[in-house]
Structure 1
Amino acid sequence: MADEHMTGAHERGETLMGLLVGLSVGWVVLAAGSALLSTHLRGHRMALHDSHLHHDLRSAMDWMARELRKAHYSAGAWASRSPAACKDAFCDGPEDFSIKGKQIEFSHDRNHNGEQDKNECMGFRLSGKALQTKRSCSASGDWLAITDNANLQITDLRWQLRCEQRQGWLHRSVEMALTAQWPNDPSRQVSLTHTVHLRNDLPASQQALFCP
């Protein structure tokens, strides 16, 4: 009987040891699985952030391109412009088109009346990591932010003008390049470029003013 009792105690000890080993292995597997899941979720979250960053930057660039294409538009251009001269208010000064560093300015005939009204001067610039748009022809320009630094920070804005004469007319295109980052993670950046072909050609005689 004593031998049987000792054998039973020995068998119970082996079972407890196996249980402890199994629990240890289980905890290791669980920890590894949790770390893997955490890494996967972090990667998914970063990919989602990058997608939102790209979408927001693309939306801003597309809107800027749509407005810039209208530069120099005037409803009466057919009567005021020829290869030799331009006699309307949308091609006679730097407010109608100019590039200075990270800033571009232009004008277009919003209400199609052939006259340059106070709200028909536009532009875009980078100021304090925010994109701003010009809203008037006043000396101050009445600039307004169109991006929010809390959600999107613009770190660079570049303009490259290209000009070409075609049968007495000046055809131009502008390449714009934007770089943005997440506010809390400067390492996450997105850069986009887009070439905008201006729809309204100017007389070649205006090249010195608008294509220096």
Structure 2
Amino acid sequence: MGLMVGMGIGLLVLAAGAKMLAQHLQGHRWALQDSHLHQDLRSALDTLARELRQAQAVGQAWKNRSTADCQDAFCGGARDIKIQGNRIDFSRDRDQNGLLDNNECSGFRLKDQELQVRTSCTPEVWSDLTDAGSLKMVDMQWDLHCERRGRWAQRWVTVKLSAQWPHDASRELSLSHTVSLRNDVPALPWPAACGLAP
């Protein structure tokens, strides 16, 4: 009888220990997944910010942007900077020649729960920056701010990215970042992307 009672108590202790170990391992796995989610989302946001900082960049801007009418190919056109829904398009002079080449249209958008980067003007070519199998993108929001400083318009963009763990929709993370555009444009005429009035 005593042996059976001892075995019963031993089994209870063993079951409690196994449950505690399972909970510990589950917590460890969640922490590891959260770390991967945060790292992948931060990496995507950093890549986006590096590219966006150069929006409307042009070689020898001190010459081409010295007048109010902004005569370079990256300043006032419809494709030079445009925000629409969860998509942003912009141009930048990658080769510093002052001409808008086909590979100098850039941008970001969400499609099929992946963050994509634009790499071509015509036809539009988009490449996946994230993989929905490891990082499910659920939202991207843009907010463009403009401020007149003398005869120049300075701009900065706040972007917010939200993602989920692919197999668990309850595990969601959002990160935001404010990106200062390094390339000012003339404040007159007030840039269309900045609204109607300075």
The structural deviation recorded for 1:210 is: 2.6
Matched residue, 1:182: 165
Matches within 5 A, 1:46-65: 46-65=30-49
Q: Cα RMSD between the aligned structures?
A: 1.1
Matched residue, 1:135: 119
Which protein shows a greater Rg? 1
Tell me if 1:165 matches 2:156. no
Matched residue, 2:57: 73
Tell me if 1:109 matches 2:90. no
Return the letter of the residue paired with 1:93. G
Count of residues in Structure 1 that have an aligned counterpart in Structure 2: 195
Structure ranking higher in helix proportion: 1
Q: Any stretches of 5+ residues in structure 1 without a counterpart?
A: 1-16
The structural deviation recorded for 1:99 is: 0.3
Matched residue, 1:5: none
83-92 vs 47-56, greater mean Cα deviation: 83-92
Tell me if 1:207 matches 2:190. yes
TM-score normalised by L of structure 1: 0.89
Matched residue, 2:136: 153
Q: Any stretches of 5+ residues in structure 2 without a counterpart?
A: none
Tell me if 1:100 matches 2:84. yes
- Deviating above 4 A after TM superposition, structure 1's stretches of 4 or more consecutive aligned residues are none
State whether residues 135 and 142 of structure 1, in contact with CA within 8 Å, keep that contact through their aligned partners in structure 2: yes
Distance 1:124 1:206, change over 3 A: farther
Mapped to 2, the partners of 1:126 and 1:171 lie a distance apart of 27
TM-score normalised by L of structure 2: 0.95
Mapped to 2, the partners of 1:35 and 1:207 lie a distance apart of 65
